Amino acid sequence: MLEFIKQPWPWWVAGPLIGLIVPALLLLGNKPFGISSSLRHICAACMPANIPFFRYSWKKEIWNLLFVLGILLGGTIAAQFLSDPEAVKMAPQLASDLERQGVTDFHNMVPADLFNWRSLLTARGAILMIAGGFLVGFGTRYAGGCTSGHAIMGLSNLQWPSLVATICFMIGGFFAANLLLPWVLSL
């Protein structure tokens, strides 16, 4: 059984399991699915300042904080006990493109060549981690939610703004992966 759990699950198993989260949350109290709002709840709970954006009843959203805690615990358990020691399988063309840019460690989904404390102090690391993190956070607030909230919850509820946001997320992802990332890796 453990070997089955360690393997990548096919899309036709993982996709419907993720999709079943939407009706489950709707049935369990009309709760929206999304992760980005949890940072707002944490800030409202930890920093009770007189900032209008954080003045609301965050305790009504405690379920969302528990959901995020479950994701963190699940990710930690999976990384510690269920990770595959084999290198991540990727397209040979992608592997050779990354190797030309100096990325050779493919044993994790997040290459250690790019994301480590030492590379944070380089131009490439600062762009990838600091500027990238800022842009993700800004885009999430500007779009009114994250990719999981819009693409999973919003599209399943046939919300027009979620369709627009998801299309923009995809265009931005294609732009970043094909044009921006090669430039950043060449720094």
Q: What is the pLDDT along the chain (187 residues), one digit of tens a residue?
A: 677 777 777 889 888 988 888 888 888 888 887 788 888 888 888 887 788 888 888 888 888 888 889 989 998 988 888 877 776 677 888 888 878 877 777 666 667 766 777 877 888 778 878 888 888 888 888 888 888 888 888 888 889 999 999 999 899 889 988 888 788 777 7
Same domain, 184 and 139: yes
Number of domains forming the structure of the chain: 2
Q: How many CB atoms lie within 10 A of CB 44?
A: 19
Residue-level pLDDT at 171: 94
CA distance 137 to 121: 21
Same domain, 78 and 119: no
Residue-level pLDDT at 108: 65
Same domain, 52 and 124: no
Decide if 155 contacts 44 (C-beta within 8 A). Answer: no
Question: Does 145 reside within a domain?
Answer: yes
Residue-level pLDDT at 4: 75
Question: Does 135 reside within a domain?
Answer: yes
Question: Does 67 reside within a domain?
Answer: yes
CA distance 149 to 63: 15
Question: Does 89 reside within a domain?
Answer: no
Residue entry with tokens 């509820």: 157
| Tokens linked to 64 | 């969302």
Same domain, 32 and 76: yes
Residue-level pLDDT at 167: 94
Question: Does 180 reside within a domain?
Answer: yes
Same domain, 133 and 61: no
Residue-level pLDDT at 59: 87
Question: Does 122 reside within a domain?
Answer: yes
Residue-level pLDDT at 160: 93
Domain boundary among 64, 83, 102: 83
Question: Does 68 reside within a domain?
Answer: yes
Range of the domain at 27: 1-83
